Structure 1
Amino acid sequence: MSDNDLDERFKALVEQIDRQERRKMKKAAQREWAHLPRYRRRRRWRITAAVAAVAVAGAGAFVAWRPEILGQAGTALTSALADAAPDARPTGVDRASGPVPEETTPVETEPVAVSPFEGSPAMEYADGEKGLTMPRPKATGGLSEKEVATVLGRTKALLKATHLDRRVLLKSGFKPFARLLEPSDRVWFLKNLDPKKTKKNKKDYYSSRYMLTSFAPKTTELVTDVIKVHGKTAFSPSRENGRSGVRIKVNYLFVYAVRRPGQPETAMRVVAHSKGELFAYRENGRPAIRLRQWNNGGVSGVRCDIDDGFVRPFYDDSPPDEEVVKATGAPVDPYDLEKKETEGCQLTTGT
Structure 2
Amino acid sequence: MAEKPSEDPRGSGDPKDSADDLWEKFVRDSELDIGTSDAPKEPSARARMVTERLRQQDARGEAPPGWRTGPDVQGMNGRPARRRKLWAIIGVPLALAVALVAMKPSLLPGDPFGTGGTGGTGTESAAPLPEETAPPSTAPSSAPGTPTLDRPFAGSPAARYADGAAGIVLPEATAVGSFSKDQVGQALKQTKALLVDANLDRKTLLGGTPETVLDILDPKQPRMLSDVRSWLRRPDKQNDPLLLFSRFDKDEVRLVGDVVKTRGRLTFERGENGSVVVRADYTFVYAVAPADPDSTEVTRVIVRRVIETELADPTRFRVTPGKLLVVRFDQDLANSACGVYDGYMHPQFDSGITQGPTPTGPMVDPYDRSRDIQNSDTETCGTVSRT
Q: TM-score range by the shorter chain?
A: 0.5 to 0.7
Query: Which of the residues 275, 278, 281 maps onto 2:312?
Result: 281
Closer, same or farther: CA 175–316 of 1 in aligned 2, 3 Å: same
The answer to whether the Cα contact below 8 Å between 1:172 and 1:216 also exists between their aligned partners in 2 is: no
The structure-2 alpha-carbon separation of the partners of 1:156 and 1:66, relative to structure 1 and needing over 3 Å to count, comes to: closer
2:299 aligned residue: 268
Amino acid in the other structure paired with 1:291: V
CA contact (8 A) 2:217 2:323 kept: no
Q: Which residue of 2 aligns with 1:194?
A: 233
TM-score (norm 1): 0.61
Q: Is the 8 A contact 2:255 2:287 kept in 1?
A: yes
Question: Which residue number in structure 2 is paired with residue 61 of structure 1?
Answer: 145
| Aligned equivalent of 2:344, options 288, 297, 310 | 310
CA-CA distance at 1:305 after TM superposition: 2.5
TM-score of the superposed pair, with normalisation by structure 2: 0.55
Distance 1:237 1:116, change over 3 A: same
Which of the numbers 198, 203, 217 marks the counterpart of 1:162? 198
Deviations 1:264-285 (A, max 9, x none): 4221111111111111123269
Identify the residue that residue 124 of structure 1 maps to in structure 2: 160
- The structure with the greater share of residues assigned to strand is 1
Please give the alpha-carbon distance, in whole angstroms, between the structure 2 residues aligned to 1:321 and 1:127.
Answer: 29
Question: Separation in 2 of the partners of 1:156 and 1:123?
Answer: 22
Q: For the residues of structure 2 that align with 1:207 and 1:346, how far apart are their CA atoms?
A: 19
Aligned positions of 1:155-234 closer than 5 A: 155-184=191-220, 185-195=224-234, 205-234=238-267
1:237 alignment partner AA: R
Cα distance in 1 between the residues matched to 2:181 and 2:265: 19
Matched, 1:244 2:278: no
Deviation at 1:219, TM superposition (A): 1.6
Deviation of residue 209 (structure 1)?
Answer: 4.7
Asked if the contact 1:170–1:215 (Cα under 8 Å) also holds between the matched residues in 2, the reply is yes
| Amino acid across the alignment from 1:226 | V
The percentage of aligned residue pairs carrying the same residue is 26
Residue in 2 aligned with 1:257?
Answer: 287
User: What secondary structure, in the 3-state scheme, does the structure 1 residue paired with 2:345 have?
Assistant: coil
Cα distance change, pair 127–187 in 1 and its aligned pair in 2 (3 A): same
Task: Provide the secondary structure at the position in 2 that maps to 1:153.
Answer: helix
Number of residue equivalences: 235
| Residue matched to 1:291 | 326
Letter in 2 for 1:272: V
User: Deviations along 1:303-324, whole A, 9 cap, x unmatched?
Assistant: 1121233111112233566643
Instruction: Please say if residues 141 and 238 of structure 1, whose CA atoms lie closer than 8 Å, have aligned partners that are also in contact.
Output: no
Work out the CA distance in 2 between the residues paired with 1:217 and 1:146. 40
Instruction: Answer yes or no: is the 8 Å Cα contact 2:347–2:354 preserved in 1.
Output: no
Asked whether the equivalents of residues 337 and 381 of structure 2 are also in contact (C-alpha less than 8 Å), the reply is no
- Write out aligned runs for 1:102-141 (5 A): 115-141=151-177
5+ residue gaps, structure 1, are 1-54, 68-114, 197-201
For 1:292, what is the secondary structure of its paired residue?
strand
**3-state DSSP class of the match of 2:312?**
strand
Task: Give SS of 1:146's match.
Answer: helix
Structure 1 position 151, deviation (Å): 0.3
Give the match for residue 188 of structure 2: 152
Q: CA deviation at 1:150?
A: 0.3
CA contact (8 A) 2:219 2:225 kept: yes
Contact 2:266 2:280 in 1 (8 A): yes
Do the aligned partners of 1:143 and 1:281 also contact (CA within 8 Å) in 2?
A: no
